[in-house]
Structures are given as C-alpha cells and as structure tokens.
Chains A and B, each alone.
Chain A
Amino acid sequence: MAKAAIADRSVKEFEEKQEWWWAAEKKRSSRLDYLRKAIWKKGAIGGLYAPGVKTDLERAVLQTQKARELEFSPDPYVIKFAKMLAHVLDNKSIFITDHAQLVGYTGSLPHTIAWDPSCASILNEEVYNDPTAIPDPAEKSQQIIRDVNNYWIGKSDLDKMMPIFDMEDLMKMLSGSIGWGVPLARGGYSSKDYEYIMTGKRAFQAIIDELSQKIDEADEQTHAPGATPDTTRMYDKINNWEAMKITLEAGIRIAKRYARLAGIMAEHFEEDTIRREELLKIAETCERVPAYPPRTLQESLQYDIFIQMMSRTEAIEGAWPSRPDYYHGPYYNKDVNIDKSLTKEEAIDLLGEFLIRAAEVCQFKPKWSREGLQGIDGTWVWTIGGVDKDGRDACNDMTIALMQAARLVRVANPTFGFRWHPKVKDEVMREIFECLRQGLGYPNLRHDPILIANTMHWYGHPIEEARLWCNQACLSPCPPTKHGFQPMRMANATANCAKIIEYVMTNGYDPVVNMQVGAETGDVTSFKNFEEFFEAWEKQMKTIFSILVRAVNRARTLAPNLTPRPYLSALSERSIESGMDTLTPSLERGNAWITAFTWVENIDSLAAVKKLVFEDKKYTMAELKNAIDKNWEGYEQMRLDFVRNAPKWGNDDNYVDDIMVRCLKAAAKFSKELKCPSGNNWPILPENVSGNIHYANIVGALPNGRRLGDALYDGGISPGPGLDKKGPTAVLKSCGKINHITDGRAFLLNQRLSPSQLAGEKGYQLWKAYMRTWADLELDHIQFNVVDDSTLRAAQKDPEKYQEVIVRVAGYSAHFVDISRKTQDNIIQRTVQGLG
C-alpha cells in the first residue's frame, strides 16, 4: 500500500477491516518501524532464498584459512576447532544498523546467510549448486566456493563421521525418503544450561577465571608422581577446558569490537546528540556483556544475543530454545517498575528490536530444511508463561510486554509457545487472545501440568527441573538445567511416517529413491485379516524409527571426540565441572524424541483398509494394491470411496480413534525399547512443520485416497484438511482420547477459527470457553490460524499488497507470501471451525 494511503487512514479503520499489519505499522515507534522494514528476509521462499540475499563467503574463507594454517599444528582437534571459531569471531565483519540499540548477527553483513563449511561436504555442494544466493561477481565467488569445498571434502564433520556410521543406514537416511535432518552435533537443536548462565550469577569472565584455576590444578596433578587412568583422562579434560576458555575469550573480544565500533560512530560520524548517546550506551553495554553479568534490560537482552550469535557461529542451530520472560523478566521489572529508568514504551522498543534481531538470523540450510521450513530459517519457538521451580505462576509484566511488542513488529519468527496453567491471570489470557485475533498464529498454547508430568514420565526429570522447561524446538519441552538440557537434538530423528503405511503396501521398497528402505513384511495381497496388516505396519514403523535412532545414537556417542562443542560446553555447568564436552551422553539425563511427520495418514489409511477391504469386503487387497501402484489413475471412483466412505480421524468416531490410540500405544511401547546413549527413552512427537509439502512428491499413493504429489495432512494429530466434519469439539474429543502424558512426547493440533467470530468481548468469551474444554480434555498443544479465506485468496492473487499476512504453518509461523503455493492451498483447505 502506498505510504500516503496508510497515512490517510486511522488505526481504527485498519483494525475494523482486520488489516492488522497496517495498524501495527501506524502504532509502532519510528525506530521499530525502521528496524522492522530493515530486515532482510532470510527464510527461503518456497525452497529458494529471496532475491538480494547472498551466501556469506567471508566466514567460510576465514575458517578455511585458519584450518589450513592449523592442519599440521600439534594442537588436539578440540583446540584447533576453538581456534578456528575464535579466528572467525576476531576477523569477521561486524555492523551496527541505524537506530539499533542491540547488535550482533551470524553473518558478516545484513543481507548475508552465514555458511559454515566445516559441517558437511554435501551441504557445501548445495551452496555451490544454488545460483540464486551466490554473491556477485558470480564467477569469482564460484571459484572461492570451489576452493573452500575442495578443502573440506573428507574433513567436514559428516565426512569424518561417515566411515564410522553404518553405511546402509546412512544411505537410507540421506536418501531423504524417511528422515529429515543430519546426525551431526553441529547441525540441529541445542538446548542450553540457562540456569547456569542466565540467572545473573556469572558470565564469561567468571567462567574463564574458574577454567584457568581448573587448568592449573589439573596441570599440577598430571605432573605429580603417579600414573593412573585418571591421569590419562585429565589430559583430555585440560584440552577441553583450554578450548572452552579460547571460545569465551573470543566471545568477549567480539563484543568489545562492537563496543569500539559504536564508540567510533559516536565520536567520528554521528551528529545527532540523542543517537550519539545511544551509541555510547551500546558501547558501554558491549564492554559489560558477555564478560560480566547484565545489570539492565538492555544488557540482559544484549547478553542473550551474544550467547546465541556465538552458538550459531559454532554450529548450525535450527531452533532457538528460550524463555525470555523468565530470564529477562527480572531486569524488565527492575528498569520499568522499580528504578523507572525505562518507560514501558522504551522497554517495548527494546523487546521489539530483540525479536527483530532474532528474526534476521540465518545460516545456509540444505534443501530438506528450506522446503520443510518454508519462510523461516529455523523454528524459534520461544517459551513464555508457565511456572517457576516451585510451581508458582511465572507470568510477569514482560510476558505481557513481549506479546504487545510482537503485535507491533509482527515477525513470523521467533514465535511464542505459551505454557498455560490454571493460575494464569485473565489479563494474560486476553493478551494471548489479542495476538491470535490479530492473525499472528501465535502464541500456541501448551498445557503446562500435562507437559510437566510428561517430561517426568518419559525421562525422569525431577519436578523442580521439569517445571523450568522450554521448547527445545517447536514443541518438545526440555529443562534448561545442569543435567536436564540436551545439547543437541539431531533433526534426522524426524520420521516421514507416511512411509510406514506406504512400505506396508510395497513390501518395504521405496519406488522414489529406488531402494529397499523398509522391512520386507511380505506381499500385502497375502494378508488375510487386519491383524496381519497391522503387524506389518508395526514392523515398518519399528524399522524406520530404528534406522533414524541408530544414526543419532552413533553420532551422539562419537560427537564428544570427533565433533566437539567447546563453546556450548563453556556455557554448561556440567562441562566446567567435569572437563568433558557437553555432548558426552553420560553427563545428561536424556531428552531424545522422534518427530513424527505425516503421522495421521497412517491412521486414516489403516481405518480405510480395515473397513473397506477386511470388513465390508468391498475391495480386495489386490485391487487396492493395483490402484495404489497406479497412483489411483483409472480408479477415481474407488479412490473417492476411500476418501469419503471410510472413517476419518477427528470426528469423535471410535472406529478410527481407537486405531489412532492403538498406533500411538504401539509406538510408545517401542519408544521404551529404543534407548538414547544416556540410557533414556525415545518417545514420538507428531508434528509436521511444512514437511507435508516437502514430502508431497516423495510419498506415493496411500490407502486414504491420497495420490503422489498431493499435499499430505498438515500434521501432528490434526485431522486431514476438510475431513473433520463434526465441528471443533469433536476434534478436541478425538484428540482427548490420546493420553498426552504416556502416549508420546507432544501432539500438535492445528485449528482454524473465523476472525469475525472472534470479534469483541463475545469472541473472547467463546474462545475462552473453547480453551476450557481443551484444558479439561488434557490436550498438550493447540495453535490457531485466525485469517479468513478471502484474505488468503486475495494474498495469493496480489502478494505485494499482503506481504505482512502471517499464518501458522505447523509448529512455526510464516508470512503467507513466503510459502509455496501448495502450502498456501493446504492452509486454506483446513477446516474453519465455528465455535459455540
């Protein structure tokens, strides 16, 4: 919309028309407006990076340069790696954006995507093969990329791990057919020991001092008379401690580089006195943190940004576990309510910018990730609300301020997961509702008492730690505590579950990647009853899960030596104490889970086979197999029968709901047989992100009537789009038949509501009543899309005018115009539920 047209209309006019994005633009401060519009959108549009966004070659070159220099040095690998990281932090370009109060970015310049060449050669090849993101001049950049890629072949983390993996499992996984991510310690979702580093008790310098002392003591010990296995282990500890120290020192140095830049800008370039003061404040802040604990909200937010930025320089992190209101809330309260050194508006400006700084972050990702997380770089689902370790309501003024800031900046990433519990005050619920009503698609709501019980059930986390949980990725709670936090959740334990039912039909052979990936469960036409069919289903389920879990277990076991994380270790109490890398499984209680993409296709397919083939005998299995092999071509009438006349999940129909529960219980039982290297369980967590679109051409025809190429269901335990015909309460009732504590880790549920129905106080009361039913039925999750079809269709037709429309995809939010047409259609197809 033209600037003049926005200026001519009032906030009220925009709000009445539910054009929340224009209303936000008018309401936010000029600083936030500038910074919001300054964002280079990094999430891949469909599967490709946006025009103007370029791969950052600077970091790749710096890292390769240092790696070459250190190749024949006598340092152990962990120290070499720490030195490489320090070299990147010491020499990368840094920048400070006009009007910014917070600084720090993973790439060298605002429009760049950070590229870590040391993770995987196959990722490096993808950098080379993506012409859209190669910086100009292309020929020179390609030469640089070739040189970098050639160096890392055989030396990258994945290349080093490959010979030690079971090659057949790895091949099946990296075919992209059944799994998603990669079994790497530097490529997934890292929780952090926030109880150690975010409670204001210590910061980098104190840890460095402790490390120096430990190194000196250990050095003395190893040279004292005597030699035992402990002495040998002590050498490794010293190396790890030294590496940790190198990374923390580099962290302080890069912060001081920002301080210096801000000082130079203030002294030599800035003429505006107010801005000069702001720059001097930035300089003071970056001199203070991360070396010393924060004293103010600005310092606390800046400290967090530095911690995250450095962690994202050490590894490719695809998620952002965080609990901002819990850890920054005390500083907000001190500055705004006690010292009154900040007005609420100034604090919201800082929080809005904090969201923007996170929204900008990006690291180069492979195809499976760009397509599976369309529109965003990773799932930054920040956790808010909940309780403290004693079970008291932890919501505070910052919980509310964060939601208000989110409505002003309207970024699609980060989003919030709100930990609902019975003591949450009405004023907080109203803020949540307002975010949903204004079409943000977040916060999603999480049932705190259920999830605390679930966290204790699956892993045995003590209640005081379980109560501190924050999302490790989209949905999975993890305590940010000494032995509770999981330093790396490798995304390849993400199962494309529609393959389970597909492989029952194909005897385990995958026609897309031309491999025998699943188990040989026999010719499906020979099955005489549903029980035989279900037995094959169980075997395929176990086979797929096992392939993925074996790879993660192997990688986690090897990681401390082969692919250590000295920086993440330096932020972990258990590593400082023990001298062992934080990835060492014995230091952790275990918090592993299998993300179950495309799960509900199994349920509807099993129900259709049971009903139409084995019970009604309307079709033989041979006929079904034949139709599926032909992708239902020539069998449209039969296909429609399988779509329309078989029971479907989400309608409070016990026929199919019992199958859902049976499948989940079978998976839950097997989850306890699968063990992580810490000796703990592997529960499943059904959700999808946009994997339902990524896998559309990878999953063949299925007995639920789906054809190859059709979008899969939108995920978790959400019913198939348009197949939940009995209304919203029936959906909740179906989902309520699942035990959300013992049947799995968490269960994503998408719901679409009509914006007009949510208008005014009546809308709030309707929604609140609906949420009471949700809570009473003890569902662990729900998320809402509150955008009407007409807006979405208008956005498809005229994307330029609707750049800021946000939708909840599944587990994350995205700007509607940034997701592929297929995903857009899939969201529109979701049933709009009428309440009341």
Chain B
Amino acid sequence: MSRREEKRKAYAGILMPQKHESNAAPPKKTDKLCGTCTNYSESSWSSDGRGSCKYLKLGSDITQRPPVYVFEGKEGYLTRTLADASTCEHYQKMKMIDKDGYECSDPTFRRSIRQFQE
C-alpha cells in the first residue's frame, strides 16, 4: 500500500462516525480507553470522539490481536476516545481533571463528557 493509500484509509476510517451498534446503549467494556490515556489528544475541532496518539504512529492498529505498533514516522496513530485500549502495552492512565465546565478548549477536559458514561 502506498503511503498516500495508507493515509487515506486511516483518514477515512476516522472521519466517518461509527454506527451505534443498536438502539440500546452499548455495554461498558473496559476502563482502558484511548481517551483516558496520557498519550491521547482529542481533535480540537469537535467533540465527536476523534483523536490521535502522541506515542504510536500512523500504521499502528491496537484493534488487531496482537496489536500492531509503529513508532516510525511523524503522523500520530488516529484513534477514538472510546477505542478499547485494554491490549495496548503503551496505555498510561491519565489523572482525570475535574473542571467546572466553564473553561473551554482544554483537550484534556473535553474527553470526559458523556462518552465515558457509556
């Protein structure tokens, strides 16, 4: 796969929201989510659940078993706030920040909204 194709695949995957599994709220699977990892940066555009990893690079895939880790390259691995990171060896739980909701645009604040309630 060319670098362009690889990027395009990764970008398309992250830009299109995933369908909700059913009409019932999905069951909570794990406490280890990308969104609770210190290496995670949420998109600063929207709170739609997109983000990227500061540590793993594009080409990584933690949904694979075993996970694929890529450390070469510049582009961060694109992932989602609610992605299951239970098998990622590089997961580092962050200290949660309690804010009153009136400070804005703090990437480490936004992630906790609603998405973690499920």
Contact = CB atoms under 8 A, between A and B. Distances in A.
Whether A and B touch directly in their complex, counting CB atoms under 8 A apart, is answered as: yes
Interface of A: 45-48, 121-126, 128-132, 139, 142-143, 146-147, 149-150, 153-154, 159, 162-163, 167-168, 170-171, 173-177, 366-368, 370-371, 374, 509, 511-516, 693-698, 820-822
Nearest to B108: A697
A817 to B, nearest CB: 10
Contacts of B117: 131
Given A513-B44, A514-B75, A171 B11 contact: yes
Most buried by B among A366, A367, A374: A367
Interface residues of B, number: 42
B105 A122 contact: no
Given A131-B113, A514-B76, A176 B44 contact: yes
7 contacts: A121-B48, A125-B46, A150-B20, A162-B12, A176-B44, A176-B45, A693-B104
Contacts of A147: 23
Contact of B11 (A47, A130, A132, A170): A170
B52 A513 contact: yes
A128 B118 CA distance: 12
Nearest to B82: A129
A772 B69 CA distance: 65
Contact of A126 (B24, B48, B106): B48
A696 B105 contact: yes
B43 interface: yes
Contacts of A822: 103-104
Contacts of B49: 125, 129
B52 to A, nearest CB: 5
B53 interface: yes
Contacts of A150: 19-20
Contacts, number: 152
A694 B20 contact: no
A126 B81 CA distance: 13
Closest 8 CB pairs of A and B: A514-B76, A176-B45, A176-B44, A47-B104, A125-B48, A122-B48, A46-B102, A146-B20
A553 B78 CA distance: 27
B103 A821 contact: yes
Given A126-B48, A366-B45, A693 B101 contact: no
A368 B19 contact: no
Contact of A514 (B11, B24, B53, B110): B53
Nearest to B25: A142
A550 to B, nearest CB: 15
A124 B50 CA distance: 13
Contacts of B47: 125-126, 129-130, 366-367
Given A47-B105, A694-B105, A167 B19 contact: no
Contacts of A821: 102-103
B17 A124 contact: yes
A261 to B, nearest CB: 35
A171 B12 CA distance: 9
B115 interface: yes
B36 to A, nearest CB: 15
Contacts of A698: 44, 105, 107
Contacts of A48: 101-102
Contacts of A170: 11, 15
B97 interface: no
Contact of B105 (A153, A513, A697): A697
Contact of A159 (B11, B16, B52): B16
A129 B76 contact: no
Nearest to B118: A142
Nearest to A366: B46
Interface string B1-25: 0001001100110111111100111
Contact of A167 (B7, B45, B50): B7
A130 B52 CA distance: 21
Contacts of B44: 175-177, 367-368, 512-513, 697-698
A513 B23 CA distance: 32
Nearest to B56: A514
Nearest to A173: B45
Nearest to A159: B16
Contacts of A124: 17
B58 to A, nearest CB: 9
